[in-house]
Amino acid sequence: MKWSLCFYTSLKKILLKRLSVREFIKDCVELGIDKLFVLAKDTESRVYFDTDLCEKAYDGGDLFEEIVRAARDVGIEVHAWFCLYPESVENPSKYLREHPEAVLVNKYGKTNWEEPTWSYIKREYSKLWVCPSHEGYREYLASLMREVLEKYDVNGIHLDYVRYPEALEGRYYCYCPRCLNKYEKEYGYSVYANDVIERRYFVSILCENVSESVEYFSDVAKVYGASISAYVFTDYVTAIESCYQDWPYFSQYLDFIVPTIYEVAPDYALFLIKKAINAVMHSGCKVMPAIMTSSSTRRSAKGGKRWSSDRSTKYILECINKCREASTAGAALFLYDTTSVDIIDELKETLSPGD
């Protein structure tokens, strides 16, 4: 199978009229891109395709259709990128307004309507976040996915935010009635018990809620013969501990996963990639690590030898080479719209199509 090079796009550059669809596709061809993850639902309760089910993120014609056609015409695959569970506090979707019980509840018993996710850290980070246990919201997302699969010539569905939010203060989420009832029914425990032995199994309930939703979306994609994939936390130990994303387990429902190796030093990236391949080997799921091509520096800000704050083309190419060395199915670049024109031009010179 051909080694795959993918790019994420939020369509922002095109929507801001910094370039046309034709110029964007030309860039992709010159970079040797063979897969695009095109934003279909964002974290602000909006979608990028035509539907009656949800508010569209922009005015005017169907840009999604235009991108899909232009990409498919030159043989580039398109995967519709869905940010699953976060929504805007100011502008929740119609579905969520009608089903307010779907959101997370924190460990102090406050719903996300009262104390939105991360608002206790900084007000402007506030997000409404739906608990993956809510079957109605799952079906709402599935209906958006079906619409994309029926209306557009896309190759697959790509899942993002397929998890709970990262909690900075212990097990902060989720204590909604669904999560609590399931815990009591399955283990006989009340989560507010002080006994650490009783509390520790709660992590399994939360991981299962996420995994069950992946299985659900996978079944939707399979009906249409479409591929299904997910963007996941770098290291599964951290993924399970911090946001209940048990991707070694739910990889069985996916064609490929995209673990992030953002800001990771190339040598440590190789270690993480091999570990990821090993973790999903049993399920036949492929691995396609995500490399940050934008200039932001967050994780690496304090140094530490596992990180790299280098954002040069050389760093990106080194990471791509580590993916090749580990025999991944490919690599995914994140994100076209925040990558500088200089980096894109330099990458074009080095990455020759058809490799």
Residues within the interface to Zn ion (CB under 5 A): 131, 133, 174, 176, 179
Using the minimum distance from each CB to Zn ion, give the nearer residue, 112 or 133: 133
Cα–Cα dist 313/300, whole Å: 17
Are 102 and 92 within 8 A, CB to CB?
A: no
Are 77 and 124 within 8 A, CB to CB?
A: no
- Cβ 45 to Zn ion shortest distance, Å: 19
Using the minimum distance from each CB to Zn ion, give the nearer residue, 183 or 253: 183
- Cβ 204 to Zn ion shortest distance, Å: 14
* Closest C-alpha to 106, from 87, 136, 132, 129: 129
- Cβ 272 to Zn ion shortest distance, Å: 30
Are 100 and 137 within 8 A, CB to CB?
A: no
- Cβ 238 to Zn ion shortest distance, Å: 21
Using the minimum distance from each CB to Zn ion, give the nearer residue, 176 or 277: 176
Tokens for 300? 């690496």
Using the minimum distance from each CB to Zn ion, give the nearer residue, 66 or 101: 101
Using the minimum distance from each CB to Zn ion, give the nearer residue, 24 or 118: 118
* Closest C-alpha to 236, from 195, 296, 280, 201: 280
Using the minimum distance from each CB to Zn ion, give the nearer residue, 177 or 304: 177
- Cβ 107 to Zn ion shortest distance, Å: 11
- Cβ 26 to Zn ion shortest distance, Å: 45
- Cβ 106 to Zn ion shortest distance, Å: 10
Using the minimum distance from each CB to Zn ion, give the nearer residue, 33 or 131: 131
Using the minimum distance from each CB to Zn ion, give the nearer residue, 57 or 180: 180
- Cβ 102 to Zn ion shortest distance, Å: 9
